[in-house]
A = this chain, B = another copy of it.
Amino acid sequence: MKKYCFGVDIGGTTVKIGLFDETGNVLDKWEIPTRTEEEGKNILPDIAKSLSGKLEEKQISREAVTGVGLGAPGPIDKNGIVHKAVNLGWGVFSIKDILEELCGLPVRAGNDANVAALGEMWKGGGQGYRNLVLVTLGTGVGGGVIVNGETLSGSIGAGGEIGHIHIQDGEEDICGCGNHGCLEQYASATGIVRLAKRRLKATDEESVLRGSEVSAKAVFDAVKAGDEVAIQIAEEFGEYLGKGLAAVATVVNPEAFVIGGGVSKAGEILFSFVEKNYKKYVFHGSRDAVFRLATLGNDAGIYGAAKLILK
């Protein structure tokens, strides 16, 4: 009888792995390093070895394991083929085929952001919704779109890249993706710092943000303390993010947005800046989408990966 599955979340520096029971409880959770050298050729063998070791340690037979779900940072299509994952050194190949061969278990794979969205839907801030968008506000802006309970991968797994919606003409700074004026340049932690520096330069107003290193956290702490300049910065952030999420909703009509990533630690105060702009720009059929905070943090990936298998 199948009683277990693995959820694997490959990051640029570590691979997070969880052993789950069939109802989605985490029985064990650990990490191994991500060895990206030599075009990342060791990553999947390292994972297979770690899984085998865990089965041996726990005295679990392969027959009792439903399979291995896996999320990785790059476009991965429905068939488990990765289409270049730059951060891992990977080109184009079938993760599914190779890892199945290596570990002797069924494998399903997806883009890490989409998989994390599945995790938040299942066990996190998105519980109760089957059409949602996970928005990860970290160093960049990541996105995962769930439609009718399934991840939207797109034709080559590049769906849900909402951080790269063009949102501002005339931007001179370049985005990590090579374009100019992407949502990520205004709504990520880095983007908020950019907005803050520009605003502090443009005004002479007093602000607690002057004279020390500006961070997204510092901005929202200052907002909570009533700092006027910080509030202006947050308003600008909210205008960009609200407008971007409105574009997303006009396409996929979600029930909920789940906001995660480092910036979301500011809490529900974020929503007061984003939601009013969202409602201003969105098509009326999507105006009632709700905003929720992500709750799984760095574990969203392993939960979602497990869900790829347990569905």
CB distance from A292 to the nearest CB of B (A): 14
Q: Is A78 an interface residue (CB 8 A)?
A: yes
Q: Are B158 and A253 in contact (CB-based, < 8 A)?
A: yes
Q: Is A90 an interface residue (CB 8 A)?
A: no
Taking CB as reference atom, which chain B residue is nearest A164?
B283
In the complex, the count of this chain's copies comes to 2
Q: Is A156 an interface residue (CB 8 A)?
A: yes
User: Contacts A147-B147, A159-B251 given: A154-B286 contact, CB under 8 Å?
Assistant: yes
- Contacts of A230-253 to chain B: CB distance below 8 A: 243, 246-248, 250-253
CB distance from A108 to the nearest CB of B (A): 15
Q: Are A161 and B252 in contact (CB-based, < 8 A)?
A: no
Q: Are A253 and B159 in contact (CB-based, < 8 A)?
A: yes
Q: Is A25 an interface residue (CB 8 A)?
A: no
Q: Which residues of B contact A153 (CB under 8 A)?
A: 253
User: Contacts A131-B155, A155-B131 given: A83-B164 contact, CB under 8 Å?
Assistant: no
- Number of A residues, CB within 8 Å of B: 42
Q: Are A148 and B251 in contact (CB-based, < 8 A)?
A: no
Q: Is A105 an interface residue (CB 8 A)?
A: no
Q: Are B247 and A165 in contact (CB-based, < 8 A)?
A: yes
Q: Is A258 an interface residue (CB 8 A)?
A: no
CB distance from A183 to the nearest CB of B (A): 9
User: Contacts A154-B147, A285-B156, A286-B154 given: A165-B250 contact, CB under 8 Å?
Assistant: yes
Q: Are A281 and B179 in contact (CB-based, < 8 A)?
A: yes
Q: Is A120 an interface residue (CB 8 A)?
A: no
Q: Is A67 an interface residue (CB 8 A)?
A: no
User: What are the 4 closest A-B residue pairs judged by CB atoms, nearest first?
Assistant: A154-B253, A158-B285, A164-B283, A159-B253
